[in-house]
Chain A
């Protein structure tokens, strides 16, 4: 029963009301795993609206991107908080970086496969003999499991960041994020009814994506800070979803500051999809809980595909750090 004991300790550590005078505001840094697009709007809104400040957190957000990996910044201590995919977090833990998931913000995987109906693909079996575009390793686990699950004989092609290979027919099936590439395809003139989509979430391959990570030391030294950070983030997300136009204004401004081309419609689509991915289908708000089933599904798949050597201890990897009442 050691797991239970540790969990009890964690809960005790994270319990107790958090009160911190603003004078003693703690300076911390957050790095999301990519550029400041709507995928991370909740954190930026929380910062702008003072949800972190009122909990005694003096937050700076460092823009992620191809040149700034959030995993590296977290590991090296350049940022106290980072967002990571659950799969990336488990891989880091396996590679002896002592990261801890303190909040699993996204509950549904946004990764999907998409095909044109004109290529004759309606069901997974129709992919036999077709070419499938796959991204780099961490994005390949779910499609590979999918191929295995349906026992498909397919040719996999390495897919770049553009969807042109798919649009031109270089591959029959493309990998896509629901909040990103799928919309790009729609905005290249293909109608939803001309496309067929396969959400891994619907095929028993839900790998929840973005979560908030800290190093173990950070959590052990200041559990209240972590708790306050998660509460502020959830408040930020709730605010962002409730005020989409204001949120998109901020996102567009941030992207412009970074000289990243962006369109409002795309950011709006992304924000709407984040809402779908973070809020439960059954209603209610963000739970931020990493369920053991989700953890186990991802971890065992990683091990099966040889991306990790061993399964990390769930109770060490995930430390609940929030109150339901989001104080």
Chain B
């Protein structure tokens, strides 16, 4: 009990408050996270592009300065046609002065330098110790890319990187400028001047790019070939496209195509090296149309955001726990006195109205509740006291009522046979009153030696007034009947007396008969009452004719005429109130006259006492559990003169 009470409020509070708090927190957290993330990504993108551009520009600056050398030499060759000594000196000098140039040559078309020499290409390059070395290019160079492509395109070209076997013996890229014999009538190629750069320094520049732990830069050529990459297996071996083919990654191929097309971009992809999600920023070199890519590891760059997230989530969790404890504490302050109050209430429920109230210091609803409970206790005490008084009063009234009832019933003759000395008739009557003091009455008395008065009536209403009214009626009947009046006169007078002083408009229905035991004649008046039955000696059942009188006590000047029947040996008069025929069963069906008549037809020849007891039994078994609403009264008189 204590636990569930506690859990009830604490649990509900926790559930609803924590759920809402969590929801609010989640919304705020998500928004903050997205906002900071997007802000950070935008910043990263900007700085990534800046970095890529800056690095590209650094490389371009060098490459563009390298381009100047063969361009100048080409111009010199075309304009001044210097002797071999002169241009070889020029090449040598250029190399010395250009730290970024690895080697340079002037390569002529076959037989063009001299009709005795097929291939002429004096090559100067930097040796191991930085000294300028010299060699004639020993191979058939005119089908080499660095010679053939500018020749066929008629324009200066940067070559794809290649390992120069035989002359430079390093990984290099060559800028080649075709020059022409301006003396010939048509534009005739004379040769190609070149400058080589060692790719080592390019690789150094790009490899110097370090983004976090795993970020890196890489460089791909116009064909997508890797020139630099932290995975050295790729260098000069794989292209970004072969890599994409190996991975079955169509998107990587598309990115590669954009790169070699000279586009600039910022894309999200999985890093080739670590397999983790990265951003790739790419930017072309304007000089040789290669493309620089820089990989930014997302995880590392987002580390701040992730750390912030962890902290925020941690704070959220701490707050969550704090709120949980707070709620537990608050609900505790509520539930503790409540539990105490509950105990008191239970105590009070068992009837201990002097249970000690717990002390509640707070001034909140719990205090009000305690106060109310206290009030309730006091009120209960008062109420119980009042109730006790009231019950006592009620009991007194009821006992008085019981007395009234007893008195009323006492008025009715209850001793049977009533006239034990007589055997010329048998008479039995009984009343079964309903709960309250009711208003049925019956009576029989001799006016003289021969005439017996028989009355049976039913007063409207219930309770003491009805009982009084009935008593009055009975008294009036007795009084009038003994004045030697006819039945009609007796009833007229009784009616007159009752109606005269009847402020509460009560009335009584009545059968009044004067039975001559000598002759068997019965003068009678029926005032608004159910007509009685006569069961003849042979068992025939007759309903006595009505005398069409109204109930007594309504109209002062109402007239009543009497009727007369004659009873013979063995005939029986049967009077009853509607308590018999209107008795109800649990389905609210009435006992009805039909049932009564059937009983009278079947058992009409029983002894009068047995018959009435039998009818009572039948009514009871019919009514079953339904409460009795009205008094049930019956009177039977069998005439037996012989």
Contacts and interface: CB of A to CB of B under 8 A. Distances in A.
Given A263-B238, A265-B242, A171 B152 contact: yes
The 7 A-B residue pairs with the shortest CB-CB distance in the complex, in nearest-first order = A170-B152, A188-B223, A187-B241, A187-B242, A265-B245, A160-B143, A265-B246
Interface residues of A, number: 24
B152 A189 contact: no
Given A164-B145, A165-B148, A170 B223 contact: no
B149 A165 contact: yes
B241 A188 contact: yes
Contact of A164 (B149, B241, B256, B257): B149
Given A158-B143, A261-B236, A189 B148 contact: no
A204 B223 CA distance: 33
24 contacts: A131-B152, A159-B143, A162-B145, A162-B160, A164-B160, A165-B148, A168-B153, A170-B151, A170-B153, A186-B241, A187-B224, A187-B242, A188-B224, A188-B241, A189-B223, A189-B239, A189-B240, A189-B241, A189-B257, A191-B257, A261-B236, A262-B237, A263-B237, A263-B242
A155 to B, nearest CB: 10
A265 B153 CA distance: 31
Contact of A261 (B223, B237, B240, B257): B237
B364 interface: no
Interface string A135-179: 000000000000000000000011110101101111100000000
B157 A187 contact: no
A18 to B, nearest CB: 42
Interface string B225-252: 1000000000011111110011000000
A168 B149 contact: yes
B144 interface: yes
Given A188-B223, A189-B257, A189-B260, A160 B148 contact: yes
Given A158-B143, A160-B143, A168 B241 contact: no
A266 interface: yes
A264 B247 CA distance: 11
B595 interface: no
A164 B160 CA distance: 8
A50 B37 CA distance: 61
Nearest to A191: B257
B246 A264 contact: yes
B245 A187 contact: yes
B614 to A, nearest CB: 113
Interface of A: 131, 157-160, 162, 164-165, 167-171, 186-189, 191, 261-266
A131 B154 CA distance: 14
Contacts of B224: 187-189
B259 to A, nearest CB: 9
Interface string B121-165: 000000000000000000000011100110111000101100000
A165 B160 contact: no
Contacts of A170: 148-149, 151-153
A189 B252 CA distance: 11
Interface of B: 143-145, 148-149, 151-153, 157, 159-160, 222-225, 236-242, 245-246, 253, 256-257, 260
B267 to A, nearest CB: 16
A176 B159 CA distance: 21
A167 B151 CA distance: 15
Contacts of B237: 261-263
Contacts of A160: 143-145, 148
Task: Determine chain A's interface SS by DSSP, over half rule.
Answer: loop
A169 B150 CA distance: 10
Given A160-B143, A187-B241, A265-B246, 14 more contacts: A157-B148, A159-B143, A162-B145, A164-B149, A165-B149, A167-B222, A168-B222, A186-B241, A187-B242, A188-B225, A189-B256, A191-B257, A262-B237, A263-B238
Nearest to B220: A189
Nearest to B240: A189
Contact of A165 (B152, B225, B238, B260): B152
A19 B145 CA distance: 54
A158 B159 CA distance: 18
Nearest to B248: A265
Contacts of B152: 131, 157, 165, 170-171
Contacts of A159: 143
Contacts of B149: 164-165, 168, 170
Contacts of A169: 153
A165 B246 contact: no
A264 to B, nearest CB: 6
Contacts of A191: 257
B152 to A, nearest CB: 3
A168 B160 CA distance: 10
A157 to B, nearest CB: 7
Nearest to B223: A188
A265 B244 CA distance: 10
Contact of A167 (B223, B238, B257): B223
Nearest to B256: A189
Contacts of B143: 158-160
A9 B253 CA distance: 57
Contacts of B242: 187, 263, 265-266
Contacts of A162: 145, 160
A74 to B, nearest CB: 27
Contacts of A186: 241, 245
B123 to A, nearest CB: 19
Contacts of A131: 152
Nearest to A188: B223
Contacts of B148: 157, 160, 165, 170
Nearest to A194: B257
A189 B153 CA distance: 21
Nearest to A185: B223
A131 B157 CA distance: 19
B153 to A, nearest CB: 6
A170 B152 CA distance: 5
A162 B149 CA distance: 11
Contacts of A188: 223-225, 239, 241
A164 B152 CA distance: 12
Counting chain A CB atoms within 10 Å of each CB, the highest count among B242, B253, B260 belongs to B242
